[in-house]
Structure 1
């Protein structure tokens, strides 16, 4: 049997034969949930994915600059054994029994012996559990006494390449505390989830909500914090007007606290949708005190946006969440959808200035231009399929394209921007009315 090749020569298939192992490992095991960052994403900012203080798991194992924290892990292992009255051998057996499954959770294979791999996972797992317990009990130790160190460790524990499978921590916790209860996630968070939420409380907006799905690791847990349960991707979002453009069409940006970061809504108002002349934003601009009346507040088109806080750690957080979704949730890439939505809304520092003024963005970087640059770069190399903001984007574009919205917005901005300008406009209209009446009165009285 022969095979053709591009240069036109014929070769025997026997010449192409190679030795193929009878049993190849799959390219990716079903349990895989911890990934090496794709090259294209890493090139954008490699420092956003590399831990600085503590390595967790095999990707950054044996890094020399983290040697001090390895000593701290040994201290925590000793203290954890004292705390729980469990022996090192018993804890290690939990890892040994699940070694194959743990290895399958990583996107790469590692040239580590079974003993070295088990010791690494055990040290890292106990370090995390002891750290969480000390945080809950507010114990003052080497880490908690130095805020910069604790903040740095929190930063390292959210990185995608720096993770342990959550089920490993769960098994160690259950064994250590003899907690065999199977918590119903629909009614209450599992004990370890509670501990984790307490440690990452800064990122947890919905503290009373229940994590009703299985958590793979801490990067995945933070994704649960940010994503509401009611998101549904529909179509690809390929165009949206800038924030300043939408503002010119009379759209109001309203910050909404105590809501998932991705829970952005554009409440429907059929009256204003078809009759923009009933828009009362000009009244509320002149008399802000009237906003206490819900009916008047609803008589303007408002985009409800949970505030997005931008600080020194924002880029690393978002880049790791983006990488997780690109690798593990390509069909439900909600964080990617959110980043691309922001990328559409923000083009220049003027857009950032507007959103900061409306308290939709909390700028802790100082420069609006820096924030605009950060948002625009976050959207690079994201492969997006369907977007959960497609319907929202279409409604916003329809709002901008309706001419009457621009007329009402222009009148509001020019003549009713604030109380004093509105008062001057009203007085001017009254004076104009009296002047016109004075001009017409001789003719009317004459008749």
Structure 2
């Protein structure tokens, strides 16, 4: 037994010879155990000696590993293969779910920036800041036009009448539906780029909406423009395609910003019906203006002399000479048809600290009617059918007649929203509405303008008109220096700030407001003259008595 133990101990390398030591603890233990089992010497194996040796060996390996300096990763030599070529770098660490989600959002932003044609937008969603005033004014109530309000609630009732209109067109022209679908299919990308935001419709559904709604609009335009619905094949008792019925509600829905179809789509559809090879956008514009004429906010019958002056000072509106984006844009262009326009002037530096503001206190162009009257400014109705053409001469503010009906509020709100969204058009409608909002502060202001024939309304009372104007331009971004009424407003304010005008107006209001006041003033003046004469003769007789 002693010889066996000594032979085992002799086989083990001494601690002072590191080169002969096995590299790992597991290899030593494995060889020792296997050797013991193979020779069946378990009974004579010195376990304590072997355990002490292995523990000491493991401790020595740890001490030597800590004493070796570590090479920084940045300065470590490149790994080489057996052939001497640099080995491939190790795989980078995988991103966490948080980093992966951020990368996906960045990719979406890149796609949005790449495929969003901002310059081609013409049909916008009304900003939330504007919708808070009156949601109903921006949402169609009878018919949906375009993809934004497709399939919404009660608007679905009109879909059956749209299909009837398409059936009448195909029957009247003898065309196949494939002709219209193929023509609009070629315009799909261009039409999609006109809408703000992503349109969640497939290609077939989008083309169907363009054809169905476009044909429906053209049938309304042609029937109301002079051809007559009966000549187009509709019954005189038709619930939709008739002069009466729901026509007025449909007209109001068609001037909403979110309820539009690109004009070039309507032009292509009308060209197919009439057999014209090119798009008929100019003809569609004329038909749209005639159809939407009842929504005009003014109607002033002019005599021959006034009409001649108007035509000589302003060119007639020609839709062919100016491109149109959609029906709302064409209607706006007809309201602002060409004419002599005053250039905007930089003014009111005392009030305007910023260019474009949405603060109501910085939208004050002029004072209200009551205050202007106190300063001696008079108000007269101007005979013109251009409601925005305001003039100020010799202390008299000439304002065209404005007709206010139940659709005027929605009309102005959508026109203002279009001017706020489209940076390529002027802010003329916004400037006019803000100017009238400044003039009208109370029911008394509306009553006086109505007395002067400037405002004609079909609302319940004058207070509703004042409330309407005071709410039209809430949260509207407006640049006073870019308003066509800036120069006129400067003249009005200069006249208002002149003290002599205020004194003269105050004298007139107090002593010349009615006949009895005039008679009282004359009597007082005569009495004052007689009293002065009596005093004079009394003093004169005292110093120079008669002989």
- 2:153 counterpart of 1:64: yes
Selected match of 1:190 from 282, 291, 304: 282
Q: C-alpha offsets along residues 100-149 of structure 1, whole Å, 9 cap, x if unaligned?
A: 00000100221211111111110100001111111122333322547341
**Unaligned stretches of 5+ residues in structure 1:** 1-13, 184-188, 270-300
The aligned counterpart of 1:417 is 513
Separation (CA, whole Å) in 1 of partners of 2:342 and 2:228:
36
The alpha-carbon deviation at position 375 of structure 1 amounts to 1.2
- 2:463 counterpart of 1:369: yes
Q: C-alpha offsets along residues 9-57 of structure 1, whole Å, 9 cap, x if unaligned?
A: xxxxx96871426754444432210011101111211111111111000
The alpha-carbon deviation at position 231 of structure 1 amounts to 5.3
Q: C-alpha offsets along residues 173-204 of structure 1, whole Å, 9 cap, x if unaligned?
A: 12221345899xxxxx9322221121111244
Selected match of 2:239 from 139, 142, 145: 142
Q: Given that residues 381 and 400 in structure 2 are in contact (C-alpha distance below 8 angstroms), is that contact kept between their aligned partners in structure 1?
A: yes
Separation (CA, whole Å) in 2 of partners of 1:341 and 1:124:
37
Selected match of 1:323 from 408, 417, 429: 417
Separation (CA, whole Å) in 2 of partners of 1:341 and 1:180:
46
Separation (CA, whole Å) in 2 of partners of 1:95 and 1:131:
20
Selected match of 1:47 from 116, 136, 146: 136
User: How is 1:221-260 mapped onto 2 (pairs within 5 angstroms)?
Assistant: 221-227=330-336, 229=338, 230=341, 232-235=343-346, 238-239=363-364, 240-260=366-386
Q: Given that residues 206 and 225 in structure 1 are in contact (C-alpha distance below 8 angstroms), is that contact kept between their aligned partners in structure 2?
A: no
The aligned counterpart of 2:248 is 151
Q: Residue 84 and residue 414 in structure 1: after superposition, are their counterparts in 2 closer, same or farther (change >3 A)?
A: farther
- 2:331 counterpart of 1:216: no
Aligned length: 399
The aligned counterpart of 1:388 is 484
The aligned counterpart of 1:87 is 176
Q: Given that residues 311 and 364 in structure 1 are in contact (C-alpha distance below 8 angstroms), is that contact kept between their aligned partners in structure 2?
A: yes
Separation (CA, whole Å) in 2 of partners of 1:393 and 1:217:
32
Separation (CA, whole Å) in 2 of partners of 1:15 and 1:112:
31
SS of 1:266's equivalent in the other structure is: strand
SS of 1:18's equivalent in the other structure is: helix
Q: Residue 65 and residue 377 in structure 1: after superposition, are their counterparts in 2 closer, same or farther (change >3 A)?
A: same
The alpha-carbon deviation at position 228 of structure 1 amounts to 5.0
The aligned counterpart of 1:35 is 124
The alpha-carbon deviation at position 247 of structure 1 amounts to 0.7
SS of 1:253's equivalent in the other structure is: strand
The aligned counterpart of 1:202 is 294
The aligned counterpart of 1:129 is 218
The alpha-carbon deviation at position 435 of structure 1 amounts to 6.3
Q: Given that residues 374 and 505 in structure 2 are in contact (C-alpha distance below 8 angstroms), is that contact kept between their aligned partners in structure 1?
A: yes
Separation (CA, whole Å) in 2 of partners of 1:308 and 1:36:
28
Separation (CA, whole Å) in 1 of partners of 2:269 and 2:516:
66
Separation (CA, whole Å) in 2 of partners of 1:46 and 1:342:
23
**Unaligned stretches of 5+ residues in structure 2:** 1-97, 230-235, 301-310, 347-351, 353-361
Separation (CA, whole Å) in 2 of partners of 1:223 and 1:175:
27
Q: Given that residues 299 and 403 in structure 2 are in contact (C-alpha distance below 8 angstroms), is that contact kept between their aligned partners in structure 1?
A: no
Separation (CA, whole Å) in 2 of partners of 1:228 and 1:443:
73
SS of 1:86's equivalent in the other structure is: coil
Selected match of 1:305 from 395, 399, 422: 399
Separation (CA, whole Å) in 2 of partners of 1:210 and 1:363:
27
Separation (CA, whole Å) in 1 of partners of 2:264 and 2:430:
26
- 2:299 counterpart of 1:174: no
The alpha-carbon deviation at position 419 of structure 1 amounts to 5.7
Separation (CA, whole Å) in 2 of partners of 1:389 and 1:115:
48
Selected match of 1:111 from 170, 180, 200: 200
Q: Which has the larger radius of gyration?
A: 2
Separation (CA, whole Å) in 1 of partners of 2:299 and 2:183:
33
Separation (CA, whole Å) in 2 of partners of 1:231 and 1:92:
47
The alpha-carbon deviation at position 257 of structure 1 amounts to 3.5
Q: Residue 68 and residue 399 in structure 1: after superposition, are their counterparts in 2 closer, same or farther (change >3 A)?
A: same
The aligned counterpart of 1:18 is 103
Q: Given that residues 406 and 459 in structure 2 are in contact (C-alpha distance below 8 angstroms), is that contact kept between their aligned partners in structure 1?
A: yes
Q: Given that residues 405 and 458 in structure 2 are in contact (C-alpha distance below 8 angstroms), is that contact kept between their aligned partners in structure 1?
A: yes
The aligned counterpart of 1:161 is 258
Q: Given that residues 434 and 473 in structure 2 are in contact (C-alpha distance below 8 angstroms), is that contact kept between their aligned partners in structure 1?
A: yes
Q: Given that residues 228 and 262 in structure 1 are in contact (C-alpha distance below 8 angstroms), is that contact kept between their aligned partners in structure 2?
A: no
Separation (CA, whole Å) in 2 of partners of 1:97 and 1:217:
19
Q: Given that residues 326 and 383 in structure 1 are in contact (C-alpha distance below 8 angstroms), is that contact kept between their aligned partners in structure 2?
A: yes
Q: Given that residues 241 and 344 in structure 1 are in contact (C-alpha distance below 8 angstroms), is that contact kept between their aligned partners in structure 2?
A: yes
The aligned counterpart of 2:497 is 401
Q: Residue 181 and residue 122 in structure 1: after superposition, are their counterparts in 2 closer, same or farther (change >3 A)?
A: closer
Q: Residue 426 and residue 181 in structure 1: after superposition, are their counterparts in 2 closer, same or farther (change >3 A)?
A: farther
Separation (CA, whole Å) in 2 of partners of 1:369 and 1:251:
23
